[in-house]
Amino acid sequence: MEIIPAIDIRGGKCVRLIQGDYAREMVFGDDPAAMAKRWEEQGAPRLHVVDLDGAKEGEPRNLKTAEKIVQAVSIPVQFGGGIRTEEAARRALAAGADRVIIGTAALDPTAARGFAEALGGAMVAGIDARDGRVAVRGWLETSDVRAVDLGREMAALGVKWIVFTDIGSDGMLQGPNVAALREMLDGVDASVIASGGITTAEDVRAVRETGAAAAIIGRALYEGRLSLKEAMEAGAPT
């Protein structure tokens, strides 16, 4: 199972939000590109970069920072946050991202189909769930759509990758919501990347055992509660 460090950008800085709350921000560095290089040097196979300003405002705001990250490393970078038009997706790809994460826009069937056709294998469906329902617009709103139902719709469109985040566990350092992850994995025909709450090597093993293709880790890495080396060892096949 692939281990992917998260780099969340707000105001050009590397931050983490607790449960997606913009009022509960923790700053971990003023130079996201330097942070990206650090993770690459420690063996990261890929980076997960999110534009938090873009997610909130509906249009990417930190593409220049994302481009600096891409230029600083040789590993692939997937990018999301405010990608709600095909033009924005193309700008993210032009900045060097190899995959683009579509979140809020995925709830619109017509838009989702357009993204799937335009992006092909570069599209990742970002499904963020609060109590099993899809949250949108930077997690500021919760829809009536069940996360697993949206996952099925994305897979039916041919989307190969889904980043599934359980908001209740995100940034809480209390472990992942394995039950919700299993429900998503059982319900969709796509590769699922788990995100939210992974804090220990045991958490990584629990996620690996569900059959998830990859795991995104944020706060636990930044606070030194789990090293990238430990996480990668726990995610490796037994």
- How far apart CA 126 and CA 81 sit, in angstroms, is 10
3-state secondary structure of 59: coil
Q: Tokens representing 35?
A: 């942070």
- How far apart CA 34 and CA 14 sit, in angstroms, is 10
Beta-carbon contacts of residue 94 (< 8 Å; ≥ 6 apart): none
Nearest by Cα to 164 from 149, 184, 145? 184
Residue 227 vs residues 13, 28, 195, 198, 220: alpha-carbon distances, Å? 21, 15, 17, 12, 8
**Catalytic residue among 51, 128, 170, 203, which?**
128
Q: Is 11 left (phi over 0), alpha (psi -120 to 50) or beta?
A: left
Specify whether 128 is catalytic.
yes
Specify whether 51 is catalytic.
no
| CB neighbour burial string for 59-69, b if at least 16 within 10 angstroms, e if fewer | bbbbbebbbbb
**Catalytic residue among 8, 166, 170, 203, which?**
8
Catalytic residue list: 8, 128
